[in-house]
Amino acid sequence: MANERMPGFDTLAIHAGAQPDPTTHARITPIYQTTAYTFDSADHAASLFGLQAFGNIYTRIMNPTQNVLEERVAALEGGTAALAVASGHAAQLITFHALMQPGDEIVAARKLYGGSINQLSQSFKSFGWNVVWADTDDIATFQNAVTPRTKAIFIESIANPGGIVTDIEAIANVAKRAGVPLVVDNTLATPYLCRPFDHGADIVVHSLTKFMGGHGNSMGGVIVDGGSFDWSREGRYPMLSEPRPEYHGVVLHEAFGNFAFAIACRVLGLRDLGPAISPFNAFLILTGIETLPLRMQRHCDNALAVAEWLSDRPDVTWVSYAGLPGDRYHGLARKYVPKGAGAVLTFGVRGGYEAGVAVVENVKLFSHLANIGDTRSLIIHPASTTHRQVPDQHKAAAGAGPDVIRLSVGLEDKADIIADLEQAFAAAAA
């Protein structure tokens, strides 16, 4: 028997999880805009509710359009299963809900998306989930932060907003020694540039809102189960290791093996907390993912050209982009994101806070807004916007000092992108 060919990444981005609709022969995955699904019989309903059979019940818990999206992202990341939810923050909430009990701790990288810093330090605190910050530039700070109450380590593969590449393997080794899963937010890299499971991660989360959807039109998030973590240790992760009374006493890790985490997130977290993705958003994000490899490569090429141009400007004091050969993260970039360091970069504008505000107010092609991962080039001044709520003393550590400007370089002609920055600098100086 001939070996079945393993499809490549570009093929999976278009085909994984999908086939022509069996009833209508529609080629594209339809938008299954339905709330509920009929049961064949009372017995069929009972087996679905009891987790003895897989099938659709109610769109808060699963939906066929969403299901194709989940299979596609799981295939691209090399995971065993995935769960799509309403946003990136919902993916983080559902992930930690499955891992944490009151009084438990997350060890998290200090350099994270500003919204994640708020989520972990403010809202999670009110659940009794405590965060201990560590520094990705000093792996020992992760090791030293681990206590018996640590239940997870959380990092970003490429950190937002600084354009920093994280040494995933070194932190995965800390997680393995501690016996806790490593959760990696892979939003800025996408699986086209980096697959955290290949470097020892156990769970990957995404904001699909950004590069995966890629067109700035839909919110979404996803949790991908790497299938690698052993949930059996008694008492450590009760959602996975203790009998569930509402499901006939089933123990999820025994019943579902290497995709038990994705199941726990769906049948406990999503069921009870409720942030389901709309089928329409799942459809738009699926369409976006079909061109992910093409878009990400162009994003990287344009971002590198912009970073090189900025490096030569007298009105720019520093540029942080791991794709630049002189960048302090270039070595890590060559290991973890060899095809390119992504679209997001930061730089310091001479003149500090006022100059930063003046540049963002004078761009024309760039859009001044709080997002990344659009086809369009985007610009923001984090200190006055996304990181405004981060206390001043933590702003610089989070990569959001007063002079910092963040770009998400889009897919336009790179000459036009550069020309727009040039005229904005000139207008800001005037």
Ligand X SMILES: *Cc1c(COP(=O)(O)O)cnc(C)c1O
Give the interface with ligand X as residue ranges (CB under 6 A).
87-89, 113, 115-116, 156, 160, 185, 187-188, 207, 209-210, 219, 221, 372
Residue nearest to ligand X (CB): 88
Q: How far is the CB of 269 from ligand X (least distance, A)?
A: 15
Q: How far is the CB of 355 from ligand X (least distance, A)?
A: 25
Q: How far is the CB of 408 from ligand X (least distance, A)?
A: 9
Pairing of strands 164-165, 158-159: antiparallel
- Give the span between the Cα atoms of 140 and 187, in whole angstroms: 25
Q: How far is the CB of 207 from ligand X (least distance, A)?
A: 3
Q: Could you tell me if 77 and 186 are in contact, meaning their C-beta atoms sit under 8 angstroms apart? A: yes
- For ligand X, the closer of residues 241 and 408 by Cβ is 408
Q: How far is the CB of 373 from ligand X (least distance, A)?
A: 7
- For ligand X, the closer of residues 95 and 116 by Cβ is 116
Q: Could you tell me if 285 and 213 are in contact, meaning their C-beta atoms sit under 8 angstroms apart? A: yes
- Give the span between the Cα atoms of 41 and 61, in whole angstroms: 20
- For ligand X, the closer of residues 80 and 166 by Cβ is 166
- Give the span between the Cα atoms of 430 and 277, in whole angstroms: 47
- For ligand X, the closer of residues 63 and 207 by Cβ is 207
- For ligand X, the closer of residues 65 and 187 by Cβ is 187
- For ligand X, the closer of residues 277 and 304 by Cβ is 277
Q: How far is the CB of 302 from ligand X (least distance, A)?
A: 19
State the DSSP string of 240-306.
HHS-BGGGTTB-HHHHHGGGHHHHHIIIIIIHHH--PPPHHHHHHHHHHHTTHHHHHHHHHHHHHHH
- For ligand X, the closer of residues 91 and 304 by Cβ is 91
- For ligand X, the closer of residues 146 and 152 by Cβ is 152
State the DSSP string of 108-125.
EESS--HHHHHIIIIIHH
Q: Could you tell me if 295 and 91 are in contact, meaning their C-beta atoms sit under 8 angstroms apart? A: no
Structure tokens belonging to residue 405: 């400007």
Structure tokens belonging to residue 354: 């006022």
- For ligand X, the closer of residues 89 and 381 by Cβ is 89
- Spatial strand order of the sheet with 221-225 comes to 81-85, 221-225, 203-207, 182-185, 150-156, 105-109, 130-134
Q: How far is the CB of 307 from ligand X (least distance, A)?
A: 19
Q: How far is the CB of 24 from ligand X (least distance, A)?
A: 31
- Give the span between the Cα atoms of 14 and 304, in whole angstroms: 27
Contacts 24+ apart (CB under 8 A), 289-292: 289/13, 289/69, 289/72, 289/73, 289/76, 289/212, 289/213, 289/214, 290/13, 290/14, 291/13, 291/214, 292/13, 292/76, 292/190, 292/192, 292/211, 292/212, 292/214
State the DSSP string of 122-176.
IIHHHTT-EEEEE-TT-THHHHHH--TTEEEEEEESEETTTTEEP-HHHHHHHHH
- For ligand X, the closer of residues 74 and 85 by Cβ is 85
Report the chain's terminal Cα–Cα distance, integer Å.
72
- Give the span between the Cα atoms of 304 and 281, in whole angstroms: 31
Q: How far is the CB of 52 from ligand X (least distance, A)?
A: 34
- For ligand X, the closer of residues 68 and 155 by Cβ is 155
Q: How far is the CB of 115 from ligand X (least distance, A)?
A: 5
Q: How far is the CB of 21 from ligand X (least distance, A)?
A: 28
- Give the span between the Cα atoms of 89 and 48, in whole angstroms: 28
